[in-house]
Amino acid sequence: MHVEVIMPKMGESIQEGKILRWMKKPGDKIEKDESILEISTDKVDSEIPSPSAGVLVKIIVPEGVTVDVGTVIAMIESDASVAVVEATTPAPAAGEVQPSSSSEIPSDATISSFESTPARHRDGDRFYSPLVKTIARKEGVALEELDHMSGTGIGGRLTKSDLLEYLTKRAQRPSAIPQPDAGIRRVDLSELQKKYPAPKYEIRQMDNVQVKMAEHMVASVRTSPHVQAISECDVTRIVDFREKNADRFERQEGFKLTFTPFFINATVRALKEFPLVNSSLEGDKVIVKKFINFGMAVAAPSGLIVPVIKNAEEKNFLGLARTINDLATRTRNKKLSVDDIQGGTFTITNYGVFGNIIGIPIINQPQAAILGVGAVKKRPVVITDAEGSDSIAIRSMVYLTLSFDHRILDGAIGGQFISKVVSNLEQYDFTKAF
């Protein structure tokens, strides 16, 4: 019996995915739930498990091609007694999706298969076929630009011919059509290779996650008036506690004790006292969340990913530490689901792991603020005792930076919030650690 492998729906807002790598080839035996390919969406890269045990008999969509959710991308023969097809991938027949270079428009065979696919609804009332979206993506036409084009199809639908005609006119009158500034524009590879020839230069293509992250950061700077508040914090007590308990913690939990759960726990407690920092803006309305979904930036092989600790306010120190380790491990192993990176209400980014002492992070929209943590460094610090006498001591210090949206938060709230985080860290209650 043949079992179809389809492009999975990785989340409510995910409508398509790009096949990055097939981990199996035709003729290979596959166990149920064994990873068979890796896909990339505009949010996360993921390994996809096999829906059935059997033999991979056909790969329909090759690597590098982006298709809609629900598209059949491979076939598995679940009955092992059936003869295995030739181990090399057969050439795609007419009607199957075929790859094309970044500078080519899909072939007629590809077009026929795309046009047979129902048009898909996008944010507003306009429908676009997968073919139109594929050509637009390859030619660097933003969806906002498509919205302003007139269509000759049924009900005003934009057809392939409409888009190709538009592209021809745009090439003739490049200055007459303004391009929306999304932070990333398509650049012709051949022209770049002439400008930056090998071997003196290497040209690298950004992947989906990198492009979306870049666009997200540009949009954030354009959307929010960023203001920063920087405080220094004495974490000597935390450093000492960690050094004394690191071995016991690792034996008990099976992973290393880091500074991250201390910083997140202290920040969660501050968010409870300053709920406006845990909010977002919609029009002229401030949406204050009664829960804390805490995002933490993780450096993954494909770029920066921000998995989310859901309902962080309900977790104690050990609960946070376990969740942090789990999310960080799955991020680096590309095992995150789309749900793991959605719904964040506040974010922390730790550039201190690379030795940086101060950073100015960009807000993760639509959140109101983000906390940056620098490297913990020993420095000489002036200490004032209870009697008012000063002395110099060597202390473990860290700089914390709060970037916040000045439309929602003023300097007073931002300053009070980061001061509370500092206080929570400097006066950390270790009896509730573990």
Quote the pLDDT of residue 144.
Answer: 65
Quote the pLDDT of residue 434.
Answer: 75
Catalytic site residue from 33, 240, 410, 429: 410
């550039």: which residue's tokens?
Answer: 351
* Nearest CA-CA partner of 291 in 310, 274, 307, 277: 310
Quote the pLDDT of residue 114.
Answer: 33
Quote the pLDDT of residue 49.
Answer: 87
Catalytic site residue from 2, 188, 240, 406: 406
- Please check whether residue 105 is in contact with residue 98, taking contact to mean a CB–CB distance below 8 angstroms: no
* Nearest CA-CA partner of 327 in 315, 316, 341: 341
| Tokens coding 285 | 């309305």
Domains of the chain: 2-77 (2.40.50.100), 181-223 (no CATH), 225-432 (3.30.559.10)
Enter the DSSP assignment of 353. G
Q: Is 406 a catalytic residue?
A: yes
Share of the chain residues as helix, strand and coil, in percent rounded to the nearest 5: 35, 25, 40
CA distance 217 to 363: 8
The helix-helix angle for 260-273 and 317-332 (nearest 10°) equals 120
Digit-by-digit pLDDT tens for the chain (434 residues) are: 788 898 887 665 567 888 988 999 999 999 888 889 988 876 677 888 888 899 999 999 999 888 888 888 999 988 544 443 333 344 444 444 443 333 343 433 333 333 333 334 344 456 677 777 778 877 777 766 777 787 777 667 788 888 888 888 766 654 433 344 455 777 888 889 999 999 999 998 887 777 878 888 888 999 999 999 999 999 999 999 999 999 999 999 999 999 999 999 999 999 999 999 999 999 999 999 999 999 999 988 777 889 999 999 999 999 999 999 999 999 988 888 888 999 999 999 999 999 999 999 999 999 999 999 999 999 999 999 888 899 999 999 999 999 999 999 999 999 999 999 999 999 999 987 77
Quote the pLDDT of residue 349.
Answer: 97
Q: Is 188 a catalytic residue?
A: no
